[in-house]
Amino acid sequence: MTGAVLSALASHWRRNRLQLLTLVLGLALATALWSGVQAINAEARASYDAAAATLAEGQFDQLVPREGDSMAQEVFVTLRRAGWLVSPVVEGRLRVGGTAVRLVGVDPLTAPAGSTASAALARTDLAGFLRAPTLVAGPETAALLAANLPNPVLRDQTVAPGTVLADIGVAQELLGRAGRISRLIVLTDQPLRQRPLAEIAPDLMLRHADGASDVGRLTDSFHLNLTAFGFLSFAVGIFIVHGAIGLAFEQRRGMVRTLRALGVPLRRLIVLMVLELVVLATLAGALGIVLGYLIATLLMPDVAATIQGLYGADVAGTLHIRPAWWLSGMAMSLGGALFASASAMWRLARMPVLASAGGRAWALASGRTRKLQAAATVVLLVAAGVLAIVGGGLIAGFALLSCLLLGAALALPSCLAAILRFGEGRAVRVMVQWFWADTRQQLPSLGLALMALLLAMAANVGVSTMVSSFRLTFTGFLDQRLSAELYVNANGVADPAALMRFLETRADAVLPTMSVDATLAGLPAEIFGARIGYTYRENWRFLDAVPAVWDEVEEGKAVVINEQLSRRADLRVGAMLALGPGLSLPVAGVVGDYGNPIGQAIIGEALFRQAFPDIKPVRYGVRTSDPGGLREALLEELGLPPSSIVDQSALKAFSLSVFERTFSVTGALNVLTLAVAAFAILMSLLTLAAMRLPQMAPVWAMGTTQRRLAGLEILRTVLLAGITTLMALPLGLALAWVLLAIVNVEAFGWRLPMYLFPAEYIRLMLFALAAALLAGLWPAWRLARMEPAALLRIFANER
């Protein structure tokens, strides 16, 4: 009997291949986007974990300098001789072949066990490691090192991408930091007797292990972002699957009745149908995981670039197959399919054996369902409102987004119905009236696909508004900051004094850039020394500042900080900021800073040189009316290497290209979401087409040509899509507001002004309409080309 039932069930799919395709493809697409995003997240997290595991940062307390970014090596010996079991680390970025790698120098004899570094070193020949200037790195980085440096290079799979391990002495030399160490790792087991830290090393402070890496926490928001996108795509996909499954179950009511009448127990039937679904979902899940892997592979380099650009964290550009994401993809596929079919199964289980086999598709929009939907809409939108007012934190931000989007999606059918009813009321001609009424009747079946379109469209509007607002702000920021015509990199300059003399006579102004890493208000930050001149006075725009802010800074009486520092440390204009021992200055201004994730404080050049006498300028901004000529002069007269001079436009172009890469991931996910929504519409229309014949046939029989009917079908689709996209616009703007005013502030520490981009929205709407048109075209074409006999047959059928 089981075989017979299975064959009967399968026959449905044989007859409705398109429906099978919808189901499998919908589920596969949903799974693909979800598992793709998860794959990216898993890869990036693995990279952070590997980077943090390099020195097992989360497990050990550290001693760091209270000011500056390094301490004398003698501090290490002093501490050891005072009974402190500490191990020295020197860390810095090393430029290798055009990119920068994180070089970590450790002392293998005192480094604690339990870190990647000690494990990797245990695998090497330690004598060789100590005697030759050996570098240890992962495969990608090792190849880069081997091609560019004379040092022996060892490959080790466990070393994080972009990280290089070396003996501390080797690292100090490569980084040009002889005799300096960055910090000290405090081993877990300390001896009975120690002299107090305050007595032996008052300039150090103890930073407690917190079990999580800084970069992991910093990038959490980015991954939450990606996950939200993945989930959105999945939700859209599940709409498709729900539609396809619901339809299949409706269409099989007759079969189910027949089978049950023939004596198949309900329980067995249900079990077999669930089994059938599980097989299909597994198939679709597998397909989705393969697709997801492809998507992730394509996006991974951009994600790596984004994370490097935003947070300075190194992520492998290649993808590994990790159980975490493909299992989660499979679970989502199975769970999604069962979730989407739950209501259909429930109805099937409760259906009386001899109930009419007539379709219930048209009765879906029963009063009860609509009331439930309305109630859910109200609850969700109220929750969104409450969250917008009282919510704080990234999670609340995303919760607000979900409530807003889901609430709006649920409200969509009712709104559409109201609009259509309004149109119907205005219609005079009978054909027009029929058009409105028939459109409204289709709503319940098309509703899910339209919701998908609404979500996709709103996400597109919201995200593109955010990205474009960001781009506009960022370009303005670049214009402010990159105001010098030429930038001369001091690293390639043999004689800085000669360069200064040369520039002072030939250029309008020279702006040296000096910076030092520091911990400000307990947060990682940089202190910049600036030569205040007309460039700063004219170009810089403040978010908030005292009058004559630059005068105060120039005189060493005040400090300007960036928005990140201001928000994270809650420092407003007028607050005091401790820059080091004995050096506290009031904050005179807060500037927007969209170029880096950490805090910055800007002080006058004189004060900087006094506070950090060892720090030399790394770059000079040069103001000149003849950049081309000066560049030539620098190259020819001073013999500077061409690579050490960058002109403003090149720097801007480079910064913008980094920006574009940063958001290319978002853009790609956006397009994919919209494509999934278009697919949803197409599939809904295709499945509806056959069911709608009983509605069409009488209209045809009364003299409307097939061609005209097909035209009306297209018009109907475009009309529904048009109204939906129109409604998506305010929703998208609300979304953009949440992203800019809440999510961005939490994730990156800056609040961006929101700009509107009508042309962009029109383009998006046209794209959505075109997608809907394309989706409607095929079913309409099939209707226009249908054999009249097929339409005639409708009247012979039982319905």
Strands 183-186 and 619-623: unpaired
Q: 3-class secondary structure for 483-519?
A: CCCEEEEHHHCCCHHHHHHHHHHHCCEEEEEEEEEEE
- 109 interacts with another protein by CB under 8 A: yes
Least CB distance to another protein at residue 164 (A) = 17
**Cβ closer to another protein: 82 or 417?**
82
Q: Candidates 191-199, 539-547, 574-582, 755-763 — which segment interacts with another protein by CB under 8 A? A: 191-199
**Cβ closer to another protein: 109 or 428?**
109
- 392 interacts with another protein by CB under 8 A: no
- 706 interacts with another protein by CB under 8 A: no
Cα separation, 238 vs 23, whole angstroms:
10
- 396 interacts with another protein by CB under 8 A: no
Q: Candidates 104-112, 300-308, 437-445, 614-622 — which segment interacts with another protein by CB under 8 A? A: 104-112
**Cβ closer to another protein: 73 or 460?**
73
Least CB distance to another protein at residue 108 (A) = 8
* Near another protein by CB under 8 A: residue from 167, 250, 593, 647: 167
Contacts of residue 660, Cβ cutoff 8 Å, sequence gap at least 6: none
CA distances to 310, 345, 365, 432, 718 from 773, in Å: 39, 33, 25, 20, 6
Cα–chain center distance at 196: 46
**Cβ closer to another protein: 110 or 596?**
110
Least CB distance to another protein at residue 200 (A) = 11
Joined tokens for residue 665? 């991931």
Cα separation, 362 vs 358, whole angstroms:
10
Report DSSP letters for 554-581, one per residue: HTTS-EEEEHHHHHHTT--TT-EEEEET
Which of positions 711-750 make contact with another protein (CB under 8 A)? none
**Cβ closer to another protein: 170 or 739?**
170
- 91 interacts with another protein by CB under 8 A: no
Joined tokens for residue 377? 């809409």
Q: Mask: binding to another protein, 29-68, rule CB under 8 A, as x and -?
A: ----------------------------------------
Side chain identity at residue 552, one-letter code: E
Contacts of residue 652, Cβ cutoff 8 Å, sequence gap at least 6: 478, 482
Contacts of residue 513, Cβ cutoff 8 Å, sequence gap at least 6: 528, 529, 530, 617, 618, 619, 620, 621
Q: Candidates 70-78, 453-461, 693-701, 711-719 — which segment interacts with another protein by CB under 8 A? A: 70-78
- 414 interacts with another protein by CB under 8 A: no
Of 596, 601, 565, the residue nearest 585 (C-alpha) = 601
CA distances to 102, 154, 157 from 145, in Å: 12, 10, 15
Least CB distance to another protein at residue 180 (A) = 12
Residue 448 CB-density burial (10 A; 0-12 exposed, 13-18 middle, 19+ buried): buried
**Cβ closer to another protein: 178 or 355?**
178
Of 391, 310, 236, the residue nearest 743 (C-alpha) = 391
Least CB distance to another protein at residue 58 (A) = 22
Least CB distance to another protein at residue 181 (A) = 11
- 656 interacts with another protein by CB under 8 A: no
- 107 interacts with another protein by CB under 8 A: yes
- Do the beta carbons of residue 592 and residue 473 sit within 8 Å? yes
Cα separation, 571 vs 548, whole angstroms:
19
Least CB distance to another protein at residue 71 (A) = 14
Which of positions 194-223 make contact with another protein (CB under 8 A)? 194
Q: For the chain, give me the number of helices (H) and strands (E)?
A: 26, 20
Least CB distance to another protein at residue 211 (A) = 22
* Near another protein by CB under 8 A: residue from 81, 217, 371, 541: 81
- 123 interacts with another protein by CB under 8 A: yes
Burial code (b: 16+ CB inside 10 Å, e: under 16) for 748-758 equals bbbebebeebe
- 193 interacts with another protein by CB under 8 A: yes
Side chain identity at residue 227, one-letter code: T
* Near another protein by CB under 8 A: residue from 14, 150, 192, 428: 192
- 522 interacts with another protein by CB under 8 A: no
* Near another protein by CB under 8 A: residue from 126, 197, 606, 651: 126
Least CB distance to another protein at residue 517 (A) = 23
Q: Candidates 167-175, 284-292, 682-690, 775-783 — which segment interacts with another protein by CB under 8 A? A: 167-175
Any idea what DSSP says for residue 616?
P
Any idea what DSSP says for residue 92?
E
- 576 interacts with another protein by CB under 8 A: no
CA dihedral 452, 455, 459, 462 (to 10 degrees): 150
- 632 interacts with another protein by CB under 8 A: no
- 164 interacts with another protein by CB under 8 A: no
Total residues interacting with another protein, rule: CB under 8 A: 32
- 794 interacts with another protein by CB under 8 A: no
* Near another protein by CB under 8 A: residue from 76, 434, 474, 487: 76
- 73 interacts with another protein by CB under 8 A: yes
- 85 interacts with another protein by CB under 8 A: yes
- 698 interacts with another protein by CB under 8 A: no
What number of other Cβ atoms are within 10 A of residue 340's Cβ? 26
Q: Candidates 107-115, 331-339, 763-771, 791-799 — which segment interacts with another protein by CB under 8 A? A: 107-115
Q: Candidates 16-24, 190-198, 362-370, 383-391 — which segment interacts with another protein by CB under 8 A? A: 190-198
Place of tokens 């596969």: 28
**Cβ closer to another protein: 170 or 403?**
170
Joined tokens for residue 617? 């300028």
Least CB distance to another protein at residue 605 (A) = 34
Contacts of residue 799, Cβ cutoff 8 Å, sequence gap at least 6: 358, 694
**Cβ closer to another protein: 130 or 715?**
130
- 176 interacts with another protein by CB under 8 A: no
Q: Is 781 helix (H, G, I), strand (E, B) or coil?
A: helix
- Do the beta carbons of residue 31 and residue 332 sit within 8 Å? yes
Least CB distance to another protein at residue 619 (A) = 31
Strands 599-604 and 523-530: parallel
* Near another protein by CB under 8 A: residue from 82, 500, 651, 668: 82
* Near another protein by CB under 8 A: residue from 176, 179, 628, 753: 179
CA distances to 42, 376, 644 from 45, in Å: 5, 36, 35
Least CB distance to another protein at residue 86 (A) = 10
Q: Candidates 153-161, 186-194, 355-363, 589-597 — which segment interacts with another protein by CB under 8 A? A: 186-194
Which of positions 304-363 make contact with another protein (CB under 8 A)? none
- Do the beta carbons of residue 313 and residue 56 sit within 8 Å? no
What residues line the site for another protein (CB under 8 A)? 73-74, 76-77, 80-83, 85, 107, 109-110, 122-123, 125-127, 130-131, 167-170, 172, 178-179, 189-194
